[in-house]
């Protein structure tokens, strides 16, 4: 009797162990697809985590929440819970989404993580955030479509002033290698936290140019995307400093040194590529810090660029902006105006923390009589707006 | 008295709530550095997860464990536990490590995740794995050092045979843009699961060539890294198919179509770049599936390449290798031998699942009388070996 009971108890323990074991580690399903953009423009997110208590997706397609940032209170990505099935696979289906390039992360029991089923991700400061595209609308411009493609090159130019060889990203339009034609050049500058990879990565500049040119909406042009951080020879991971932790704003990026040495870049490009090297065939544009650089470079070399684009430009006065480059602002803007230029283009989102600074700058230009075109969009200081601005700006160039 | 007790109880609850709140969500420390390669060659890993029960690091610097893979039982990365401090920051310090490029992931309560403090990661099939370099040794070749850098371009070549424009990665050595010299060309092919990004990413081919050329150990050469997956116009995320889930071996990659259309690539390169377009100045090499492609391309066009490199080549007979390209193997190898070539180079690791197939192939070459050089290394079918093979092979070219 005793033995029978012990055996029975053992059986119970074993059954209990087995079922709890089976419950604890279901097998990971084969070939989980995440994210899946469905035909009805909803998107399904999937994450296998049988032991997790909560799995969430945080993304800019969800209703935004106010978050404290270095720019004050801004709209941040919303967060929503996934639902777990009996096999430990969590999922969530979004509402139908507008055509856009979205970013997202999973949050598993409070820890933010990338999607293990998608390698498509972009760097945000030190960490990676996954991306997906909902097409059949605006974001068709951001896709690699079946059109003729330009060439993307990563060159190193010698900067005599910065005493470094420095890395550039350069786009040459489809047909460049097969022709002997000369092309106009757009210099396209990134913002704080970015580098020479940013416009191609977050900005989808390669796809936007390929598509606009293929559609006949933009002239074939060379696009030069330099690195605006003067302490770097190259973006994070590409330079002599190896793999180090990215930070938001590198030192000396807005103290005049970059602007004062910008002609090293123009000179290298004009020696190395087949370009039309005159004012009518040079454009310069930049976002945020790159808009600040653009404004200053274009008036510091006031007879160099016929097209100027300020995208959410960080043109507020800065305490460290004391160097020679930043002096005589009004006078040099007047010189720039008097030299003549074909387009001075300003764009900003209504919710941008730099909105008022741009309104103030427009008033300054009004006072000087420097004519500009102005685009005001919704939302704030985000890549969604900068992709839109590039797609609006590029077709206006070299006409 | 009653009221006092209620108040006291409330205080207790509040104190309890507060302390449990404080205990549950410690503040994330500012600026966590992970991984940190220390001066003594140990590496510190850090991960903030106050609520996690276990945090582990899984990496190829740890003693390997046997894992079942598509190649059978192979060495996989080992796993070790991190230790949690009172603020919820987990850490682990490795033993001093040999100079190498290592990869790692964190495993948090059983879920594999990337390092939120490092954006340096490589794609492995669908997911990302972080990387770090321990220098002062072999891996110095894999770093972007302060030397003159070549240019990396992403071009699209027209493949008449595959009826697609297809993406290539092309390295031109430092000085290419400033000279009118013509250069020899190495065609460098990836393996299954890879694409035209793999040799530059996992293989550190750009750094290896920059460094070997700067040291005078390799001749300045152009390196062409094509995409060997004939169903793709470009690697995952770069082509017209958008962001889709990577899989290990794409269809038709080893059925002869790629080899039969390889001259589309050579023809584009020789029309577009300043190259020495003769046999003495053409080399071809590849890893795994790319070694299979290399062996077949070099004998199918038996008077085209003077230098041939098989890196862990997948040269075992395949059931689907039935096309015209794969017929008359011995006869075409004899023709290749009789045409003369300067170097037939074979390298493989002792633990590679393709070891025996390579030994058998060497016997075949012995029978034919085709002379080769042979390098046998430790370990198996891993990028560590392929970086070593490229660093050994490139200095032997174009002498």
CA atoms within 13 A on the CB side of B85: 12
Domain closes at, from A107, A135, A163? A135
Which residues in chain B are closer than 8 Å to A128, comparing Cβ atoms? 114, 119, 121, 128
Among the partner-chain residues B119, B132, B155, the one whose CB lies closest to the CB of A236 is B119
Which residues in chain A are closer than 8 Å to B123, comparing Cβ atoms? 119
Query: Kind of pairing, strands A343-349 and A373-377?
Result: parallel
Contacts of B94 (CB under 8 A, 6+ apart): B42, B43, B44, B45, B61, B62
The minimum CA-CA distance between B233 and chain A, rounded to whole Å, is: 9
Q: Is A133 on the interface with B (CB under 8 A)?
A: yes
Which among A358, A288, A364 is positioned nearest to A329, based on CA atoms?
Answer: A364
What is the H or E stretch that residue B12 is in?
helix B2-24
Lowest pLDDT segment from A68-72, A102-106, A260-264, A295-299 = A68-72
Nearest C-alpha in B relative to A25: B110
Q: Judged by CB atoms within 8 Å, which residues 298-327 of B form the interface with A? A: none
Same domain, B275 and B186: yes
Looking at residue B126, the DSSP 8-state letter turns out to be T
Domain closes at, from B86, B112, B136? B136
Cis previous bond, B232, omega within 30: no
Same domain, B175 and B91: no
Which residues in chain A are closer than 8 Å to B151, comparing Cβ atoms? 153-156
Residue tagged 């371009």 (tokens): B153
Question: Taking CB atoms and an 8 Å limit, are B144 and A31 in contact across chains?
Answer: no
The minimum CA-CA distance between A274 and chain B, rounded to whole Å, is: 12
- CATH number, domain containing residue A200: 3.40.50.1820
Domain closes at, from A100, A135, A170? A135
* Beta-strand runs (E) in A10-126: 36-37, 43-48, 55-59, 65-69, 72-76, 78-81, 83-84, 89-93, 100-108, 111-113, 121-124
Neighbours of A127 (CB within 10 A): 18
pLDDT of residue B5: 47
CA distances from residue B243 to A70, A101, A104, A134, A211 in whole angstroms, order as listed? 32, 11, 14, 11, 18
pLDDT in tens, A183-218: 999 999 999 999 999 999 999 999 999 999 999 999
- Cβ(A114)–Cβ(A235) below 8 Å: no
Q: Is A166 on the interface with B (CB under 8 A)?
A: no
Q: Is B272 on the interface with A (CB under 8 A)?
A: yes
Please state, in angstroms and rounded to a whole number, the distance separating the CA atoms of residues B113 and B107. 6
Please state, in angstroms and rounded to a whole number, the distance separating the CA atoms of residues B237 and B196. 12
Query: What are the beta bridge partners of residue A168?
Result: A155
Same domain, A341 and A199: yes
Q: Which site among A48, A132, A149, A195 would you substitute to test the B interface, given the most B Cβ atoms closer than 10 Å to its Cβ?
A: A149
A9 assigned to some structural domain: no
Which among B129, B126, B131 is positioned nearest to B114, based on CA atoms?
Answer: B129
Same domain, B126 and B151: no
A50 assigned to some structural domain: yes
Which residues in chain B are closer than 8 Å to A156, comparing Cβ atoms? 148-149, 151, 174
Same domain, A157 and A104: no
Same domain, A175 and A259: yes
Query: Kind of pairing, strands B127-134 and B121-124?
Result: antiparallel
Same domain, B88 and B148: no
Same domain, A175 and A124: no
Among the partner-chain residues B109, B234, B245, the one whose CB lies closest to the CB of A117 is B245
B92, with CB counted inside 10 A (0-12, 13-18, 19+), is buried
Backbone angles phi, psi at B216, to 5 degrees: 75, 15
- CATH number, domain containing residue A76: 2.60.40.10
Neighbours of B65 (CB within 10 A): 11
pLDDT of residue B28: 87
3-state secondary structure of B366: helix
CA distances from residue B351 to A182, B11, B58, B100, B363 in whole angstroms, order as listed? 54, 66, 21, 19, 19
In this model, does residue A19 exceed pLDDT 60? no
Residue burial B117-128, b: 16+ Cβ < 10 Å; e: rest: bbbbbbbbebbb
Among the partner-chain residues A108, A132, A155, the one whose CB lies closest to the CB of B151 is A155
Question: Taking CB atoms and an 8 Å limit, are A116 and B131 in contact across chains?
Answer: no
Q: Is A121 on the interface with B (CB under 8 A)?
A: yes
pLDDT in tens, B76-123: 899 999 999 999 999 999 999 999 999 999 999 999 999 999 999 999
Domain span including residue B131: 36-136
pLDDT of residue B248: 79
Looking at residue B394, the DSSP 8-state letter turns out to be G
Among the partner-chain residues A116, A118, A154, the one whose CB lies closest to the CB of B151 is A154
Please state, in angstroms and rounded to a whole number, the distance separating the CA atoms of residues A222 and A121. 26
Sequential pLDDT tens for chain B (399 residues): 344 444 444 433 433 344 444 445 688 888 999 999 999 999 999 999 999 999 999 999 999 998 887 778 888 899 999 999 999 999 999 999 999 999 999 999 999 999 999 999 999 888 899 999 999 999 999 999 999 999 999 999 999 999 999 999 999 999 999 999 999 999 999 999 999 999 999 999 999 999 999 999 999 999 999 999 999 999 999 999 999 999 878 888 888 999 999 999 999 999 999 999 999 999 999 999 999 999 999 999 999 999 999 999 999 777 767 778 999 999 999 999 999 999 999 999 999 999 999 999 999 999 999 999 999 999 999 999 999 999 999 999 999
- Cβ(A99)–Cβ(A2) below 8 Å: no
Contacts of A322 (CB under 8 A, 6+ apart): A255
B313 assigned to some structural domain: yes
Which residues in chain B are closer than 8 Å to A246, comparing Cβ atoms? 119
**What pLDDT band is residue A324 in, cutting at 50, 70 and 90?**
confident
Question: Taking CB atoms and an 8 Å limit, are B154 and A156 in contact across chains?
Answer: no
Nearest C-alpha in A relative to B121: A128
Q: For chain A, what is the mean pLDDT?
A: 92
Please state, in angstroms and rounded to a whole number, the distance separating the CA atoms of residues B332 and B316. 17
For residue B197, what are its two tokens? 């990004």
**What is the tally of structural domains in chain B?**
2
The minimum CA-CA distance between B336 and chain A, rounded to whole Å, is: 33
Contacts of B181 (CB under 8 A, 6+ apart): B175, B274
Alpha helices, DSSP H, located in chain A: 2-24, 198-201, 205-214, 257-260, 262-272, 289-300, 329-339, 355-368, 383-393
Among the partner-chain residues A114, A143, A165, the one whose CB lies closest to the CB of B114 is A114
Same domain, A130 and A156: no
Q: Which site among B32, B37, B107, B144 would you substitute to test the A interface, given the most A Cβ atoms closer than 10 Å to its Cβ?
A: B144
The minimum CA-CA distance between A213 and chain B, rounded to whole Å, is: 16
Task: With a threshold of 0.90, tell me whether the complex ipTM lies above it.
Answer: yes
B30 assigned to some structural domain: no
B275 assigned to some structural domain: yes
* More confident call, A375 vs A318: A375
**What pLDDT band is residue A317 in, cutting at 50, 70 and 90?**
confident
Question: Taking CB atoms and an 8 Å limit, are A149 and B128 in contact across chains?
Answer: no
B25 assigned to some structural domain: no
pLDDT of residue B338: 98
Please state, in angstroms and rounded to a whole number, the distance separating the CA atoms of residues B298 and B286. 11
In this model, does residue A21 exceed pLDDT 70? no
Same domain, A82 and A216: no
Question: Taking CB atoms and an 8 Å limit, are B238 and A156 in contact across chains?
Answer: no
- Cβ(B304)–Cβ(B277) below 8 Å: no
Question: Taking CB atoms and an 8 Å limit, are B120 and A33 in contact across chains?
Answer: no
pLDDT of residue A24: 55
Question: Taking CB atoms and an 8 Å limit, are B113 and A117 in contact across chains?
Answer: no
A65 assigned to some structural domain: yes
Contacts of A203 (CB under 8 A, 6+ apart): A188, A287, A383, A386, A387, A390
Looking at residue B393, the DSSP 8-state letter turns out to be H
Neighbours of A162 (CB within 10 A): 17
Same domain, B120 and B247: no
3-state secondary structure of B110: coil
Same domain, B44 and B146: no
B319 assigned to some structural domain: yes
């Amino acid at each position: 009797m005793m033995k029978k009971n012990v055996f029975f108890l053992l059986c119970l323990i074993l059954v209990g162990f087995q079922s709890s074991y089976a419950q604890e580690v279901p097998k990971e399903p084969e070939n989980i697809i995440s994210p899946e953009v469905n035909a009805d423009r909803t998107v399904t997110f999937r994450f296998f985590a049988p032991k997790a208590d909560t799995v969430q997706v945080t993304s800019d397609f969800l209703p935004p929440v106010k978050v404290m940032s270095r720019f004050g209170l801004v709209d941040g990505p919303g967060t929503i819970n996934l639902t777990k099935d009996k096999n430990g696979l969590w999922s969530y289906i979004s509402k139908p989404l507008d055509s856009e390039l979205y970013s997202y992360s999973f949050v598993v029991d409070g820890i933010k993580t990338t999607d293990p089923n998608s390698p498509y991700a972009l760097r945000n400061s030190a960490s990676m955030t996954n991306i997906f595209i909902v097409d059949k609308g605006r974001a068709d411009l951001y896709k690699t479509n079946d059109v003729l493609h330009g060439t993307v090159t990563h060159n190193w130019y010698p900067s005599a002033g910065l005493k470094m060889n420095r890395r550039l990203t350069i786009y040459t339009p489809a047909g460049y290698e097969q022709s002997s034609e000369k092309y106009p050049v757009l210099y396209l500058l990134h913002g704080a936290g970015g580098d020479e990879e940013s416009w191609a990565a977050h900005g989808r500049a390669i796809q936007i140019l390929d598509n606009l040119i293929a559609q006949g909406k933009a002239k074939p042009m060379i696009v030069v995307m330099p690195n605006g951080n003067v302490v770097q020879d190259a973006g994070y991971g590409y330079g002599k400093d190896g793999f180090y932790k990215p930070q938001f704003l590198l030192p000396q990026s807005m103290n005049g040194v970059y602007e004062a040495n910008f002609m090293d870049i123009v000179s290298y490009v004009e020696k190395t590529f087949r370009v039309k090297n005159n004012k009518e065939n040079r454009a310069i544009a930049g976002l945020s810090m790159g808009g600040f650089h653009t404004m200053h470079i274009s008036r510091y070399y006031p007879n160099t660029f016929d097209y100027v684009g300020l995208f959410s430009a960080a043109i507020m006065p800065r305490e460290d902006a004391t160097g020679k480059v930043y002096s005589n602002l009004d006078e040099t803007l007047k010189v720039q105006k008097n030299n003549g230029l074909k387009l001075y283009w300003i764009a900003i989102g209504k919710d941008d923390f730099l909105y008022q600074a741009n309104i103030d700058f427009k008033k300054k230009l009004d006072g000087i009589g420097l004519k500009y075109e102005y685009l005001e969009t919704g939302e704030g200081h985000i890549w969604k707006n900068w992709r839109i601005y590039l797609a609006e700006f590029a077709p206006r160039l070299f006409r």
